[in-house]
Each structure stands twice: as C-alpha cells, then as structure tokens.
A and B are shown apart, each in its own frame.
Chain A
Amino acid sequence: MFGVETIELQYKANKAEDVLKRLGQLLYDYDFVKDTYLKGVLEREKVYPTGLPSRGISIAIPHTDPIHVKKSQIAVMTLKNPVLFSMMGSPEVTLPVQIVFMMAIKEPKQQLQLLKQLMKVFQDEKLLQEILASQDEENLKTLLSQNLLTREEV
C-alpha cells in the first residue's frame, strides 16, 4: 500500500533539478524518505532520465532505489509552465514535461504495480488533462487514488 499525500499544484520551476528538489524535500518533510533519497534521485535522473512522451502531455517519473525510502509514497506535481526533462532511454532528447510523479516505493513488486497503473493513466489523455487542470489538492488526491491504487490495494 502506498499513499498520495504529497501534492504540489501549478508549481513554477525553471529546470528539472528545481522540480526534483522540491518534491524530494516534500517527501522528506513528511518523513516518507530518508535524507539520502533526494541525492539518489538527482544522481539517477542524470544517468537514467525519466521523461516520457505521450500524444499530448509529457510526464516524468523520477525515482531511486528502495533503500532510500521509509514509507511508500508517490509525490505528484503539476507544472505551471512545462519544464525540460531528458527522455527515458534517449537522454539526448528533451521533453516539455507538465506532470511529475515522483515514486518513493519500498518494494520492487509494489513499484512494478504502480508503474503499470501509471502507464494506464498515461494512456488516458483526458485523465492527464484533468490532473493538469486540477486546482484542488483533495480532489486530485481522490482522483489519483482511484486511478493509481490497484484493486488488491483498495
């Protein structure tokens, strides 16, 4: 089981690093991750970037090894203006990312489940538009819980 308690809406950032720092800090402030988590994410993103293109909205799914995580959690950020992230598998390509799902997951198996669910969300352009347009944290939490938690977990 993991939560979706950490949300940042319409965040203003100039570069990917600002986004990672803000979300990493948020996860740390809520005690979901160890103080090594952010460094882990920053280093991993440099070597293995996580930007993903879709037909419309690009997303990023930064994460790092489970050893840095205390309690499984996914931090979500919508961006006021798109921020450039390098693309997964093709670091030479940059993508204008608008929604970021930072995964802090303790179990690889759980992470696989979450990735599958995220890819389903990612296929749903209407849902992505809805997430991006969201102005209310509580509504977004509900929306994300419905779409990211699998049946076994609800």
Chain B
Amino acid sequence: MKKINVITVCGSGTVSSTMVAEKLKEALGEKGYSVSTVEITPQEVLCFIEDGNFDFIAYTTPIPEQHQVPAINAVGFLTGFGEEEFLEEVDKVLATLI
C-alpha cells in the first residue's frame, strides 16, 4: 500500500471535509493507496502545512494562498458533479510522488 497524507478543508472543519475525506479514502483505496487525512478549517491550513508532510489539499472552501502543497477544489467531488475531473487532478498530483 502506498501511503499518502491529505488535508481536507471546509468552513467548519468537520462536515464537508469529513465527507470529502471518506470519499477520498474509498476512491483512492480502490487504486491501492492508504489515505490518512486531517479535516480542518481554512484558518488552520498554513499552520498544518508548516508542521506536517502532506501530499495535497482537497478543499470545499477557499484556502489561503500558499505554494508548498498542491491544492484541489473538491466541491465537484462532494456533489458528484465533477467527480472524475477532481480525481484526474488527484491522479496528476499522485503521479508526481515517487
């Protein structure tokens, strides 16, 4: 199993972010990834990036600009309208990790 670390972000840091995290674990689990997630608010993003080693961020609310970790809009993944596009973006990020 390839292990990846993901930050999921929503306004409350609890609900949408958890739903995105669950869906990610399922979708990427099928592709052979073991996904660890932290669910946080936009205000916590910069702090978490400083402290941790994350492969990408999936967000449903806008997050502060930063250049360390790739960030992908996950609203389409949440609703299901745009799920494939989201997963393509994720694949692109994962392809850069070896």
Contacts and interface: CB of A to CB of B under 8 A. Distances in A.
Interface of A: 44, 47-48, 52-55, 65, 87-91, 108, 111-112, 115-116, 119, 122-123
SS class of chain B's interface: helix, strand, loop or mixed?
loop
How many residues of B sit at the interface, in one of the four size bands? 10 to 19
B11 to A, nearest CB: 4
Given A108-B14, A111-B15, A112-B19, A48 B79 contact: no
Contacts, number: 52
Nearest to B10: A48
Interface in B58-98: 59-62, 73-75, 78-81
Contact of B73 (A89, A112, A116): A89
Contact of B61 (A54, A89, A115): A89
Given A54-B81, A55-B81, A89-B73, 7 more contacts: A53-B81, A89-B60, A90-B62, A90-B75, A112-B15, A119-B78, A122-B79
A88 B75 contact: yes
Nearest to B59: A89
A112 B18 contact: yes
B8 interface: no
Contact of A123 (B11, B16, B60, B80): B80
Contact of B79 (A47, A54, A65, A111): A54
A121 to B, nearest CB: 11
B36 interface: no
Given A44-B11, A48-B61, A87 B16 contact: no
Nearest to B11: A48
Contacts of B19: 112, 115-116, 119
Nearest to B78: A119
